[in-house]
Amino acid sequence: MAILVTGGAGFVGLNVVEQLLERGEHVVVFGREALPAAAARLFTKLKGRIDVVQGDVLDKAALKAVFDTHKIDRMFPLAVITAGPRREADDTETILDVNMRGMAIQLRAARDAGVKRIVFPSSISVYGESLNTHGLLREDTTPPVPNSIYGVTKYAGERMAIRLAQLWNLDLVCGRIGAVFGPWERDTGVRDLCGPHMQLAIRALEGGEAVMPARMVPRPWVYSRDLAAGLILLLDAKKPRWPVYNIASGVEWGGVITRWADTLAGAYPKFSWRQSDKPAEVNIMFHNDDPRGLEDISRIRDEMGYRPRFIHQGAYDDYLKWTQAAPDYLVK
């Protein structure tokens, strides 16, 4: 039996695929993108089996062919457009088409194929305005007030997925993904908000200077390997108690990102960094200047034993090792 990961060549998808292959699973990756060369090179060393099929989740026939060809019994429908403000304004209809209609097409195909477990990727963005007004973000009491087109589609998609699961008797659980950084992040063309950790890594590999803002605000980041581990816990859980789980680090990072800059500076002598209170000098973008609350991870922690392994310097040491192993992934 195989696990289908749509959008498996994207940031979160590659982390999920890697961990599934590490434990010997048969993984089928489906999406518009080919598997990046660095991922293909590293994944061949893992013990699992991978099949890559290029196609569009809006193409019902292509998606059906994947289910017909492979014995898919579990699924991560990760294909999505993570849109920034410009794309939201200029290409609203495409975002809605992929993130909403594409998700419905995937769930129907999974139903028709008799898939046993679907892990729906929701997002911290569903909290929207509550991110800045609530210190602790809880699945049951924090009101979702999405304030971006992406956030609107993720919340609507989450509710749609739960409703279709009821109508179609699907075994489905939702994971609200935190603000993620780490291995396999890149500009895919459908991911507009690339994070400051990746931007710093690129500057280091290029041997340039990075300038971050002088003011650092609380940030609830989660390392991509911990995020993937949380999603896989949802895949494996026998009978999840709740329909929705936060997946995050549960700790504040904020100004700790300067340790990442120091870690990179220690490994790449031509790289330097500093902070500035002059916006025109800043070349590492954080996308949002407002402090954010922390996601409460007690549901997935207490029920499934989720424990993030990579916190602060531990994440940065691992990220550096990965960056050095695949430098061609970030800088061509």
The first and second tokens of residue 154, run together, are 């993720």
Contact present, 125 and 146 (Cβ < 8 Å): yes
Closest residue by Cα to residue 76 from 14, 138, 162, 166: 14
The 3-state DSSP class for residue 253 equals coil
**Radius of gyration of the CA atoms of the chain, in A:** 19
- In whole angstroms, give the CA distance from residue 214 to residue 177: 28
The 3-state DSSP class for residue 29 equals strand
- In whole angstroms, give the CA distance from residue 201 to residue 189: 19
155 secondary structure, DSSP code: H
Sequence-separated (6 or more) residues with CB below 8 Å from residue 45: none
Q: Which candidate in 127, 150, 155, 329 is catalytic?
A: 150
150 labelled catalytic = yes
Sequence-separated (6 or more) residues with CB below 8 Å from residue 28: 2, 3, 4, 5, 50, 51, 52, 53, 66, 70, 72
The 3-state DSSP class for residue 73 equals strand
Any idea which residues carry the catalytic annotation?
150
